[in-house]
Amino acid sequence: MTNPILAPWSTPFEIAPFSQISDADFEPALDAALAEHQAEIAAIAECAEPPSFANTVAAMEAAGEALSKVLSVFFTVAGADSNPEREDLQRRFSPRLAAHFAEISSNKALYARLADLWARRDDLDLSDEDARVLMLTHRGFVRAGAALEGADEARMKEIKGRLASLGTAFTQNLLADERDWFMELAETDLDGLPDFVVDAARAAGAEKGAPGPVVTLSRSLIVPFLQFSTRRDLREQAYRAWAARGANGGETDNREIAAEILALRDERAKLLGYDTFARYKLETEMAGTPQAVRDLLMAVWTPARAQADRDAEALTALMRDDGVNGVLEPWDWRFYAEQRRKAEHDLDEAALKPYLSLERMIEAAFACATRLFGLEFTPLDVPLYHPDCRAWEVTRDGAHVAVFIGDYFARGSKRSGAWCSAMRAQAKFPKVQAPVVINVCNFAKGDPALLSYDDARTLFHEFGHALHQMLSDVTYDSISGTSVARDFVELPSQLYEHWLEVPQVLRDFATHVDTGAPMPAEMLDKVLKAANFDMGFQTVEYVASALVDLEFHDGQVPADPMARQAQVLGDLGMPHAIGMRHATPHFAHVFAGDGYSSGYYSYMWSEVMDADAFAAFEEAGDAFDPDTARALETHILSAGGRAEAEALYVAFRGRLPGVEALLKGRGLVAA
């Protein structure tokens, strides 16, 4: 029988036929796809004709279709709906894939063809897009070590394989810690918890097979528990478990893995002639150098820490009013910040959440895309990999644009966080293909599901990434959608968050889940005024993580990453009551793979741009100004990686922004 992953997909819009695929199909499909891709690459490398863009670069772009199908399906389910068999497959696939791609990047005959084309690039009469793809392909080979010889070449292959295995182990250890820990709550332990938190805890208990409500390490459950529970002892227990993910000793401890990853990355960079991994990694980003990143982060850190210190004094006073002595602890901050928010803004999240149902927030995200870009969303009834998933066809003027899939609820089989990926990227070569894009979130399940304001912002953020994928209009898969510099990729996502705060959007879609009544005007006003509430805390926990990431990779490799983390935080004067957003043992952005290594700063680099980009709509006098929206789509959302990020932004805005817009947007300086 033909493997259903490799067979032609006759499903609507050629969505992966999940209902026909079993875990037993993945390994034979990968075996066949790897062999096919190897043969395709060998044919290109051994081509008897002189190198041309068509027979080398374009041919490489066309190769690997079967492999792309296998990997898109497997890594979707491995991240969002894992099980022991998939985890075992992932552990075995990771080094094989690393070896496969290392073999391609070290293929001397293939590299010689690329080098020949690069040397003759001015005589090839290439289109701008073709020239860009040639540059990126050649540069990618050089940075992967294609020019290495002998022992250095062999060592680079070993490093890549080992890093792939370590990244998988880091991810699976973190998933195990998050999946296995939960704290059962007796009815007397529910003091202070609003109904939506109790409902989410009961749903989590049912999923865990517990007799009653539980707190898990899902952010959408543990954060509101820390906000509302009056039981300081239980808040401490929950927070300590949350902070200890990946650092509990035993088989799932990530600390030694992190140390080995850092050492291997440093060795990899030095093999390629760079002083540090950060210098290697940042060379191709907008920031360019570690010092540029450090300058940005410190420009934000100083006012953010000052604000956090002032806030800590106010929260400590509230704690004293409760009769609690001692210092303000990390498990106290969210609880007393919530009390302060109620007092200063008269805004109660328990009263707010019924106006932020998941259904209405999905509608809001879609409606903004309709007004800005003319997109329409129609539900699709197709089998997907989990019953919680939903799909929509995306059209414009009646023409098919994309398929969008949403997987919104937390579960034990899903890794933490939220992300967007393209199961199939937009491309026009070797054939025209429309994208299939997925947003994965970890919202607390309920009936109905209610979001916090932060959850709603996450939904808009990930949908901004999805728009970058869906509106892509380039020729080649390799520069499609979010295939851009890491510190540019967050611009569309963070920019889209601004539309959640457009008053008309909240008036239209923030309606009560039971009555359908719009959010009262006074509550809407409070929500908007409180948008920057506790921004000192939010900024400090983020910037601390970004600076630790940078210092890990720029300088002497730490033998003990936890000691180095403590040293960096001590030098910064990290407030006692604020923890890093992602401490080293659970810093998946940095250690699950190379994507955000030396690059966690990129959210803030992009925020400098997103604050300035939204100002373009404000200057036009309309958050949905059609000319500005058209320019945004033309120069950024549809452009993928067909030009340097700086050039794309300048084409949209006419200039690059400074950090001032970010500081004003976060309320850290006077507007």
The residues that are catalytic are 462
Torsion of CA 238, 239, 242, 246, to 10 degrees: -110
Token digits of residue 4: 């259903």
Contact 433, 469 (CB under 8 A): no
DSSP states of 235-269: HHHHHHHHHTTT-SSGGG--HHHHHHHHHHHHHHH
Q: CA-based angle 532:490:406, to the nearest 5?
A: 95
Residue type, position 650, single letter? V
Q: Which residue has the tokens 């792309």?
A: 68
Distance (Å, whole) CA 452 – CA 82: 26
Please list the residues that pair with 384 across neighbouring strands.
none
Distances (CA, A) of 68 to 63, 97, 98, 157, 435: 9, 12, 15, 22, 13
Pick from 250, 234, 15, 120: nearest CA to 242: 234
SS3 293: helix
Pairwise CA distance, residues 613 & 432, whole Å: 31
501 in the Ramachandran plot: left (φ > 0), alpha (ψ -120 to 50) or beta?
Answer: alpha
Q: Within a 10 A sphere around the Cβ of 302, how many other Cβ atoms?
A: 14
- The whole-angstrom distance between residue 67's C-alpha and the CA centroid of its chain comes to 23
Task: List the alpha helices (DSSP H) in 126-251.
Answer: 128-144, 150-180, 195-208, 219-228, 232-243
For residues 404 and 197, give the distance between their C-alpha atoms in angstroms, rounded to a whole number.
29
